[in-house]
């Protein structure tokens, strides 16, 4: 099997104007809700990465007409909440945990049976967090003995609304249950221990489906409603922008403008954490795009300092921590993260894999059960195993801006799941990165 390797020369700065690809979370949901709506949904800015394309292919396999993507433009001819048909084959979600968890809720209320599967990484990720509450609603889903995919979802079940308190803050589990709630009798209410991204709630409202928000930690839907097709403008993904926010912060002489970035307040933890560390980030021209707040982000290099990361910010930056660990490695003093055990069950064990990689580069990084302690210092060059995790690979690419030698990053093919064109865009901004196949 061919391995895609990133080779990044040390030094440089990030400058100019860049627009990173569309938001992955919003792109997934736009396809899902567009398919379940009555009428046509037009999507612009759609992320043409492998994860979102897996979602798109799944709905095509269930009989939905979808035109595109063509330069980020997708047109979905909705079939309504009850218009999907059984796929002749298992639905392959690739590397996408978002697809599998949200689709589990959506498919639990269908009249037909479905099998959800994925790649080697996805079939190791925990799914009981969705299958167990769905079972409380009346769903019947078979998983492996370890509670992992493939998931066999039995159709024709009568779903009932439940009042569910999430044991762990998770937008994916919340969204899964809300999607199942569209098909359930009565009210489905989900309460979180801490606020998480609210793209599902915003999009439900955008498609005209009533929901009830109760404070910032509880949301409820009543089954039996209707979604109406609409237009969705997907902003640039703050999770993808995060690599450049960190890179420009740590590389002397950097001055970078990131355009049209989604700044939903449930997603801006990365900005808050970097600013606490001393980063120079300006939020410019705030506006709304399709119901989602967006802005241009100007970031200039600044000396960073180690901090104890506030636990209330952890759910608001859960996908950005690999990049933030690079910032911590370049900061003066110690950075301490707690309350982030969720990082151990992402595409990789991101706590352990990042600690191993930082150690290769000469940084003291001590994993803990729910976080890490990083002592800032001088980065050396070295060879990093990304373990097929796209965010690990891109984070260590940015580390080269401050490294004493080249950084070679192995197993980078999955970068295309979230950030197609990463190498070309990063090179245009000033990162000396190249691809190699071995």
Res 438: pLDDT = 76
- pLDDT 10s digits, 313-357: 999 999 999 999 999 999 999 999 999 999 998 888 999 999 999
Res 417: pLDDT = 86
Q: Give the separation between CA 211 and CA 62, rounded to whole angstroms.
A: 27
In the predicted model, residues of the chain with pLDDT beneath 70 are 1-2
Residues 6+ apart with CB under 8 A from 141: 104, 108, 131, 134, 135, 151, 152, 153, 154
Res 331: pLDDT = 98
Res 398: pLDDT = 98
Q: What is the pTM of this model?
A: 0.91
Q: Give the separation between CA 128 and CA 148, rounded to whole angstroms.
A: 7
| From 237, 319, 389, 411, the catalytic residue | 319
Res 2: pLDDT = 66
Res 216: pLDDT = 84
Q: Give the separation between CA 356 and CA 384, rounded to whole angstroms.
A: 8
Could you tell me whether strands 407-410 and 382-385 are parallel, antiparallel, or unpaired per DSSP bridges? Answer: parallel
- Residue 209 φ then ψ, to 5°: -95, 125
What letter would DSSP give residue 260?
Answer: E
In terms of phi and psi (left: phi > 0; alpha: psi -120 to 50; beta: otherwise), the region of 226 is beta
CA distances, 101 to each of 159, 314, 437 (Å):
17, 21, 32
In the chain, what is the straight-line distance between the N-terminal and C-terminal CA atoms, in Å? 9
Of 331, 178, 357, 369, the C-alpha closest to 249 is 331
Q: Is 437 helix (H, G, I), strand (E, B) or coil?
A: strand
Res 291: pLDDT = 81
- pLDDT 10s digits, 378-404: 999 999 999 999 999 999 999 999 999
Q: Which residue has the tokens 């300092």?
A: 305
Structural domains present in the chain = 4-22+235-437 (3.65.10.10), 24-233 (3.65.10.10)
Q: Is 319 a catalytic residue?
A: yes
Q: Give the separation between CA 269 and CA 194, rounded to whole angstroms.
A: 13
């Amino acid at each position: 099997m061919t391995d895609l390797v990133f080779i990044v020369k040390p030094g440089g700065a990030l400058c100019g104007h860049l627009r990173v690809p569309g938001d992955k979370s919003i792109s997934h949901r736009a396809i899902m809700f567009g398919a379940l709506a009555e009428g046509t949904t037009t999507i612009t800015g759609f992320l043409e990465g492998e994860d979102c394309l897996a979602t798109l292919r799944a709905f095509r396999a269930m009989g939905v007409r979808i035109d595109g993507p063509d330069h980020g433009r997708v047109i979905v001819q909705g079939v309504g909440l009850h218009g999907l048909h059984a796929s002749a084959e298992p639905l392959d979600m690739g590397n996408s945990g978002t697809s599998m968890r949200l689709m589990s809720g959506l498919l639990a209320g269908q009249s037909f049976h479905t099998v959800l599967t994925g790649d080697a990484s996805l079939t190791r990720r925990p799914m009981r967090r969705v299958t167990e509450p769905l079972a409380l609603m009346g769903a019947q889903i078979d998983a492996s003995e370890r509670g992992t995919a493939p998931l066999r979802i039995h159709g024709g079940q009568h779903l009932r609304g439940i009042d569910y308190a999430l044991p762990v803050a998770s937008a994916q589990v919340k969204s899964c249950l809300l999607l199942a709630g569209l098909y359930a009798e009565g009210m489905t209410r989900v309460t979180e221990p801490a606020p998480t991204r609210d793209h599902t709630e915003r999009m439900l409202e955008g498609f005209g489906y009533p929901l009830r928000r109760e404070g910032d930690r509880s949301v409820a839907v009543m089954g039996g409603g209707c979604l109406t097709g609409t237009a969705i403008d997907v902003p640039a993904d703050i999770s993808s922008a995060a690599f450049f926010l960190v890179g420009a912060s740590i590389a002397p002489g950097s001055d970078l403008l990131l355009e049209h970035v989604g700044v939903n307040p449930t997603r801006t933890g990365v900005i808050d954490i970097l600013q606490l560390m001393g980063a120079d980030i300006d939020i410019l021209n705030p506006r709304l795009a399709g119901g989602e707040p967006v802005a241009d982000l100007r970031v200039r290099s600044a000396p960073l300092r180690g901090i104890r990361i506030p636990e209330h910010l952890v759910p608001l930056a859960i996908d950005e921590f690999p990049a933030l660990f690079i910032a911590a490695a370049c900061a003066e003093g110690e950075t301490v993260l707690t309350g982030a055990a969720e990082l151990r069950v992402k595409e990789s064990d991101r706590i352990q894999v990042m600690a191993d990689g930082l150690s290769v580069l000469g940084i003291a990084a001590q994993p803990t059960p729910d976080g890490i302690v990083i002592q800032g210092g001088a980065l050396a060059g070295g060879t990093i195993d990304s373990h097929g995790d796209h965010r690990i690979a891109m984070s260590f690419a940015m580390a080269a801006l401050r490294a004493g030698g080249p950084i070679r990053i192995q197993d980078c093919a999955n970068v295309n799941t979230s950030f197609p064109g990463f190498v070309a865009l990063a090179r245009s901004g000033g990162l000396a990165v190249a691809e190699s196949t071995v």
